[in-house]
Amino acid sequence: MSLFDRVRAMREQVVGMLDNAKLRHEIERFESELESNPENLHAMQELGTLYQEGSELQKSVEVLCKIAEIHRQRGEFEQMLAFYRKAERLATGDGRLDILQKLVDVNVQLRRFDDAYQRARQVVEFMMARSEPEAAVAYADELPNLGVKDIFYRSELKVLAGVARETAVGGESGSTWIVEGVTPVTPVHALRETEERFPEMTILLVDDEPGILQVLQTSLRSIGARIVTATNGQEATERVLAHHPTLIISDLNMPDMDGSQFFEWLRAQPTFAATPFVCLSSVSDEMEKLAAFDRGVEDYWTKPFRPAEVAHRVRRLLRRVRPPVDLMGKLSQIAFPEVIQILDSGRKTGVLSIQSESAEAVLHFRDGFIVEAEHGATRGERAVFEIIGWLSGEFTFRSCPVTREATIELNAQQLLMEAFRRFDEAQHLISELPERDATYLCGDDFDQAPDVAEEIAQAGEFAANIGRVRTLFDGRRTLGECCEALSGDLETLMLVRELIDRKLLVPGQEILL
């Protein structure tokens, strides 16, 4: 380490010590205020935030629950729900289970039976993850009435707890009961081979024919790996140095530097010499294939090849070189923010994959920093903001080199704090919406919506998604359901609220439950 680097490291250490001392002083100040006035809500809220900044999550959870209870005693149920939701995202173990059960009870009391059912699902999933099926079934049995859908909700909870669904079937001698086997939810680590994804890996495709590259890219899209392309061997060397591919599929006959020359260059690089290399060639001569295998290529594919076989072959190759799982679990047991903080404190480098129902997100870590995040078509900080509210699903983390260019400037703690702020603001917006059980449709003047979205974009951080508003507000969902689908998209929620106020989204026919 140079003298400059040592001085910079010492400066950063001193700054960190000063920041910690300032944080501790603020914590002690607000703790002292609470000793003299135990119901000082302002001091409690500030203390909860400071505990989060200091990574004292359990203390933050305790403070947030106290605030929620004060609001409950005052009959302020919306505020109580908001603070319990904050606490639930930070809590772990029995503490989180207790908060989830309270959220169920409060939603039942408020006759928000759909919300109560969703929270009850989380309780049952939590119990099943701890191998407590009897407790899960008993919980489903003992729930209070869940409204007009009570029978359906209770049945679904029991199925989730492992109780077989019973179906009535008519027969010659009258009705009988046939027990149908319940298809279990397939965990991420046990997906069928045809569904296995490799988001932590990079594949380099090299061919001078654009059509071949397009076919390969299309065939490999389903495996979830990052795809990088080059049109000759010289370009390929640059891609290798920039992206550190896990697998290379290269044509042999190319201009500038052909595939065999590229292969020899690769084997001369100590860092990349062991990278699996697949040849593409129009030559099907047996001696040519044997010579290629003798030189160390992984496989030899003859053109024309079958696109349907490509993904299967590549999955087989990637499965063999895939790094082992370092951390895995369920979001029902370990909250998403806690997973991030574990990787941050351990200064981990690798890829975190999260599967929640049909959605998937991927976060790339380098030395504990999130350098890139992906959720569908969304990238960067916004992707993290969209998934911060995920409460169920499975995650895996694999240590591996990460060469992605950093698109996120905030450190993990700053990112979480901003995500929490946005999530809380989104929940506040949703809680204030009128007639959440009614439907809203795009009005006759909806063509003015882009102008409204532009106003919000100037005041906000990201652009609102007008296309998603058009899709959701089609008369088949309640306002509450539409907004819950947008709970991770603050700007689009702000747009919805503004469109309702300006009567560009108008009430439609009420959905009968």
What pLDDT sits at residue 209? 92
Identify whether residues 317 and 329 lie together within a single domain: no
Domain membership flag for residue 168: no
Sign of CA dihedral 263, 266, 270, 273: negative
Q: How far apart are CA 486 and CA 470, in angstroms?
A: 13
Identify whether residues 305 and 232 lie together within a single domain: yes
What pLDDT sits at residue 3? 43
Whichever domain contains 57, its CATH number is: 1.25.40.10
Identify whether residues 259 and 315 lie together within a single domain: yes
Expressed as residue numbers, the domain containing 369 is 325-422
Residue ending a domain, choose from 321, 342, 373: 321
Domain membership flag for residue 452: yes
Q: Angle at which helices 307-321 and 210-220 pack, to 10 degrees?
A: 60
Domain membership flag for residue 165: no
Identify whether residues 385 and 303 lie together within a single domain: no
What pLDDT sits at residue 236? 95
Domain membership flag for residue 428: no
What pLDDT sits at residue 4? 45
What pLDDT sits at residue 173? 39
Domain count, the chain: 4
What pLDDT sits at residue 187? 42
Segments in the chain below pLDDT 70:
1-19, 164-195, 459-461, 509-513
Domain membership flag for residue 185: no
Kindly give, in sequence order, each residue whose CB lies less than 8 Å from that of residue 65, ignoring residues fewer than 6 positions away. 83, 84, 87, 99
Residue ending a domain, choose from 366, 399, 422: 422
Identify whether residues 332 and 267 lie together within a single domain: no
Query: What tens digit of pLDDT does each residue of 114-143 get?
Result: 888 888 988 888 888 778 888 989 999 899
Domain membership flag for residue 128: no
Identify whether residues 252 and 344 lie together within a single domain: no
Structure tokens at 161: 């707890």
Q: Are the CB atoms for 222 and 192 separated by under 8 Å?
A: no
Domain membership flag for residue 145: no
Identify whether residues 339 and 316 lie together within a single domain: no
Identify whether residues 55 and 27 lie together within a single domain: yes
Identify whether residues 346 and 395 lie together within a single domain: yes
Determine the longest span between alpha carbons in the chain, in angstroms.
91
Report yes or no on whether pTM surpasses 0.75: no
Whichever domain contains 217, its CATH number is: 3.40.50.2300
* Residue in the structure block whose two tokens are 């047991």: 333
* DSSP 8-state assignment for residue 434: S
Domain membership flag for residue 169: no
Q: Are the CB atoms for 200 and 323 separated by under 8 Å?
A: yes
Identify whether residues 21 and 82 lie together within a single domain: yes
Q: Residue 437's closest CA among 155, 147, 157?
A: 147
Kindly give, in sequence order, each residue whose CB lies less than 8 Å from that of residue 314, ignoring residues fewer than 6 positions away. 203, 220, 223, 247, 249
Identify whether residues 445 and 417 lie together within a single domain: no
Identify whether residues 387 and 444 lie together within a single domain: no
Residue ending a domain, choose from 372, 391, 422: 422
